Amino acid sequence: MPTTPDERLRRYLEQIVPQPTLGQMLEEQPDHESVPAVPTAPRAQVRQARTAVEKLAVGRELTPAERFTLEAIVLPDQRPAIDIVDGDFAVDHPLWSHFAGQAIRAVLRRVITSIGRIELPGHPTLPYGGTGFVVGPGLLMTNRHVAEIFAAGLGAAGLSFRPGLSAGVDFRRERGRDGSLFLAVRQVVMIHPYWDMALLRVDGLTAMQAPIPLSLRSPEELAGRDVAVIGYPAFDPRNDAEVQHTVFGGVYNVKRLQPGKLTGSGLIASFGKSVTAALHDSSTLGGNSGSAVIDVATGHVAAVHFAGHYLVTNYAVPARELSRDARVVDAGVVFAAVPRPEPEVWADWWDIADPREVATTTTTAAPSRDRVTLQPDGAASTTVITVPLEISVRIGTAAPVAPPPGAVAAGAVVDGALERAVEPTHDLDYSSRRGYDPDFLGVAVPLPKPTKPKTLARLDDGDHVIAYHHFSLAMHKSRRLAIFTACNLDASPQRKRPEPGRDYTRKGLGGLGGNDTERWFTDPRIPQIHQLPDRFFARDQGAFDRGHLVRREDVAWGTTYDQVRTANGDSFHTTNCSPQVAGFNRSDGAVNWGALEDVVQRQAGKDRLSIMAGPVLAAGDRVFTGVDDTGDVQVQIPSEYWKVVLAADGDRLQAFAFVLEQDLADVPLEFAVDAPWRQHMIAIRELEAKLGTLRFPKAMHDADQSGTELGEAVRASAALDLVAS
């Protein structure tokens, strides 16, 4: 995948516009006044775009202005977003003028009325969830990640609406039109365990909302075909705002037709696995999730759009793949020809989602829509069913189905032992906690002071500092996350392993069996509503890691084995947990966030460190709807974290400050949180200004190593950028 914006833009342009054609387009662009749908660029911008093309051809770096100008001229011309008004559209773009031809226009007008916006009535933060389209009698198809905004469960059994939430579909929502055609979603029929696809039941569909047949042709067969993505693109803050405004005319959330081409298939991560998705190059945004990718030659659904990389490609669930699943066929989805489902396709994933279901399928040319589910009680039996064919089905004890790699069903037996979620061993006598020691380094380093102390959770004695073994923290009571943590680290061998021969592994210290997993626990000293329970992280559909703010390895030390064990256990309080995307504290062979202490330790040559850390609690943090012990809960998820590592050289303090932010430029999933992280070194004064919620002690300001020789050595060793003031 391209690694720089210029390389990404160059490859994208090569994909959608051959270079000679691009040059001709830029030469002719000033004459486009007669084409109102294509913005006319000033001659200076055209010259700048032409210069950008020449520089890309020889590998020279573009200026931001050149990159913007080239995108703003090419994208609206080559991959426009066309308004749909009163169920119809007008095409003035020369490249797509054939869409106005009688045959294609008739095909698209027929399907437009069957595509609607997934509404979220009463949702506290989201106006709508994405796009859906009719695929059978009373049946809508959309993305799994759209349905999971308002629905709970996985598979086809036991699905429900999240408490207090509902959904509907509006088949209008057009630009400049106030009319609405809203139907309530009555039932969540399916949330597919493998593909990013869901089925919803609605009542009240008319002949105007006829099912759109799904194609049985593969992405490879359809590669190079013209397609139209029809949906409701929303403004996406991850992409260039000015380019978006140019392509979409500054108008979002309304029905659009976005032409492009199918380009084959490719791999993408989806819900913890790698899937082979269909690829297309239409201009899509968040809000297009669940859009139908229509083959304009036939009017069939070639794929279901679910993700996109800006200026790279877009990903969609191939319709042909859905035809292979008997459960999808039996749900009533209409296909363009007779589907031939494969009995065992994705059986491992279905077994996890609906473990007690035994589905019977036939291989006849026309599968019945009447679904029969048999529940054996363990004893072999023979059942005769007339449907109207007489079929003899022998049922014995169900053979175990191996789950997909890395997946374990609830209550499953793994390697002969039951997997359990167990609280790690921890001290139940909270009076023994001493917390962070400000004199640990031999130089006094007091805790930071909050600028708004009324926002913090309080102990019974009124103190906001919550002490544990070797660390302390303070909780923001409405965000339910720590506003800061502070810990002491002693990395000397005699403190890390004070009693040789004992088990110092993570499971050994936690008292866990070989197949057990850790269940985090709340702190009884503060109100439950001021902290997040383990259930929030266990029921988040895999969106986040349980991220240690204070590293377990940093505080698991002592003069006895019991001290190491109890300190280890304290790190599993949910007060020390912050929802973090995958990769935050996981080691991947490079210097990751959790290893910054190690870098400072090597450079400073010290066994003893003090570390302060926490999330950047920004007002604009995105809201995630999850579940706590009382029901649904909305939690703002931080996109940045900070850390200050402190060491002492004799009586001289040294402070190294860092921030970690998400780089959202290459996030593939629309409306998703997952993203790579980017690390920076930052001056203490800049960090304090960035947070606005804490005041660091003068000793830390005076000890700031950003810009010093030692600070540069740390930065170089960790391959970090320096945040300029």
Residue 507, phi then psi, degrees to nearest 5: -70, -35
Question: Would you list the DSSP string of 645-713?
Answer: EEEEETTEEEEEEEEEEE-GGG--BTT-----EEEEE--HHHHHHHH-SEE--HHHHHTB-TTSHHHHH
CA distance 177 to 266: 38
CATH code at 257? 2.40.10.120
At residue 375, does pLDDT exceed 60?
Answer: no
* Same domain flag for 101 and 69: no
Domain assignment of residue 393, yes or no: no
Question: 313 to each of 12, 18, 222, 263, how far by Cα in Å?
Answer: 8, 17, 16, 9
Which pLDDT value is given to residue 390? 33
At residue 697, does pLDDT exceed 60?
Answer: yes
- Average pLDDT of the chain to the nearest whole number: 78
Higher-scoring residue by pLDDT: 346, 76:
346
- pLDDT tens digits, 608-667: 899 999 999 988 887 777 777 777 788 888 888 999 999 898 889 999 888 887 544 443
Domain assignment of residue 362, yes or no: no
* Same domain flag for 582 and 692: yes
At residue 276, does pLDDT exceed 50?
Answer: yes
Q: Region 538-561: what's the mean pLDDT?
A: 78
Which pLDDT value is given to residue 43? 57
Strand partners, 659: 642, 680
Which pLDDT value is given to residue 679? 66
* Same domain flag for 512 and 604: yes
Structure tokens at 312: 């790279």
At residue 714, does pLDDT exceed 70?
Answer: no
At residue 213, does pLDDT exceed 60?
Answer: yes
Higher-scoring residue by pLDDT: 267, 624:
267
* Same domain flag for 33 and 175: no
Domain assignment of residue 316, yes or no: yes
**Binding residue per annotation — 239?**
no
Task: Respond yes or no on whether the N-terminal peptide bond of residue 498 is cis (omega within 30° of 0).
Answer: no
- pLDDT tens digits, 19-44: 455 444 444 443 332 223 334 445 56
Q: Which of 280, 469, 470, 548 is catalytic?
A: 548
* Residue 31 neighbours by CB under 8 Å, 6+ apart: none
Domain end among 78, 105, 121: 78
At residue 592, does pLDDT exceed 60?
Answer: no
> Is 548 part of the annotated catalytic residue set?
yes
Domain assignment of residue 55, yes or no: yes
Amino acid of residue 179: G
* Residue 9 neighbours by CB under 8 Å, 6+ apart: 56, 62, 67, 70, 71, 311
Which pLDDT value is given to residue 653? 93
Q: Region 257-286: what's the mean pLDDT?
A: 85
Strand partners, 661: 640, 678
Which pLDDT value is given to residue 602? 61
Q: Region 358-380: what's the mean pLDDT?
A: 35
Whether the CB-CB separation of 299 and 177 falls below 8 Å is answered with no
CATH code at 593? 3.40.570.10
* Same domain flag for 122 and 12: no
At residue 415, does pLDDT exceed 50?
Answer: no
Domain assignment of residue 42, yes or no: yes
Amino acid of residue 137: P
* Same domain flag for 68 and 123: no
* Same domain flag for 199 and 322: yes
Domain count, the chain: 3
Which pLDDT value is given to residue 667? 39
Phi-psi group of 211: left, alpha or beta (phi > 0 → left; psi -120 to 50 → alpha; rest → beta): beta
At residue 449, does pLDDT exceed 90?
Answer: yes
Domain assignment of residue 137, yes or no: yes
- pLDDT tens digits, 308-324: 765 567 889 999 999 99
Which pLDDT value is given to residue 681? 83
* Same domain flag for 38 and 155: no
Domain assignment of residue 424, yes or no: no
* Same domain flag for 116 and 71: no
At residue 410, does pLDDT exceed 70?
Answer: no
Q: Which of 466-480, 492-506, 662-676 has the lowest mean pLDDT?
A: 662-676
Domain end among 288, 304, 330: 330
- For residue 109, give its domain range: 94-330
* Same domain flag for 625 and 546: yes
Q: Region 601-606: what's the mean pLDDT?
A: 58
Domain assignment of residue 421, yes or no: no
* Same domain flag for 27 and 160: no
Whether the CB-CB separation of 705 and 655 falls below 8 Å is answered with yes
Structure tokens at 240: 């260039």
Q: What is the pTM of this model?
A: 0.50
* Same domain flag for 110 and 26: no
**Whose CA is closest to 419, among 513, 324, 310, 531?**
513
At residue 526, does pLDDT exceed 50?
Answer: yes
Domain end among 47, 78, 109: 78
Distance, C-alpha 243 to centroid of its chain: 24
- pLDDT tens digits, 463-477: 999 999 999 999 999
Which pLDDT value is given to residue 513? 82
